[in-house]
């Protein structure tokens, strides 16, 4: 798992509400991209790595840790944009939550350079949320 600091701190702040105080991603390494020191979960055996480095510098270590699994980029338009700029983003899952907001955050901080996204599937949940899956196509010539 890879997250930006705002998403990571949101997860930590909501552990008691949603997860009974337990880190929800036990047994899986989590990289948090941040230039500042962050608190770590108070849960033994949790592998959270705060890194002040680029995706290009960290990707080899992340991919090795994922093995045959999926590297999940959760939250943070800046983090998703960095993966897209390195052509390391192949699929995007967007979950639509039926709540009216006055403002929000962008899915990406920057435009996908020449690439596009194609809807590849949807999933509806009983609570009214809808997940949309998009395949990311790299820019022509790559």
Check: pTM over 0.85? Answer yes or no. no
Q: Assess contact for 34 and 12: CB atoms under 8 A.
A: no
Domains and CATH numbers, the chain: 2-137 (3.40.430.10)
> CA-to-CA distance for 81 and 125, rounded, in angstroms?
27
pLDDT tens per residue across span 70-124: 899 987 788 888 888 888 888 999 888 888 778 877 788 877 766 688 999 999 9
High-pLDDT (> 90) share of the chain, %? 37
Query: What phi and psi, each to the nearest 5 degrees, are found at residue 107?
Result: -70, -40
Provide the angle, in degrees to the nearest 10, between the axes of the packed helices 55-66 and 77-85: 90
48-51 and 30-33 strand pairing: parallel
Token couple for 71:
């590297």
> CA-to-CA distance for 123 and 39, rounded, in angstroms?
34
Nearest 5°: the CA angle 111, 112, 114 is 120
> CA-to-CA distance for 94 and 75, rounded, in angstroms?
10
């Amino acid at each position: 798992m890879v997250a930006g600091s705002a998403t990571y701190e949101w997860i930590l702040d909501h552990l008691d509400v949603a997860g009974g105080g337990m880190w929800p991603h036990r047994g899986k390494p989590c990289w948090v991209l941040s230039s500042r020191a962050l608190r770590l979960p108070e849960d033994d055996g949790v592998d959270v790595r705060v890194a002040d480095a680029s995706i290009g510098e960290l990707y080899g270590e992340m991919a090795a840790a994922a093995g045959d699994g999926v590297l999940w980029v959760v939250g943070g338009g800046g983090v998703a944009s960095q993966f897209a700029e390195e052509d390391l983003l192949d699929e995007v899952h967007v979950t639509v939550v039926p709540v009216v907001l006055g403002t929000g955050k962008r899915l990406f901080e920057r435009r996908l350079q020449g690439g596009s996204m194609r809807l590849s599937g949807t999933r509806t949940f009983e609570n009214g949320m809808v997940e949309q899956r998009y395949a990311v196509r790299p820019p022509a010539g790559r």
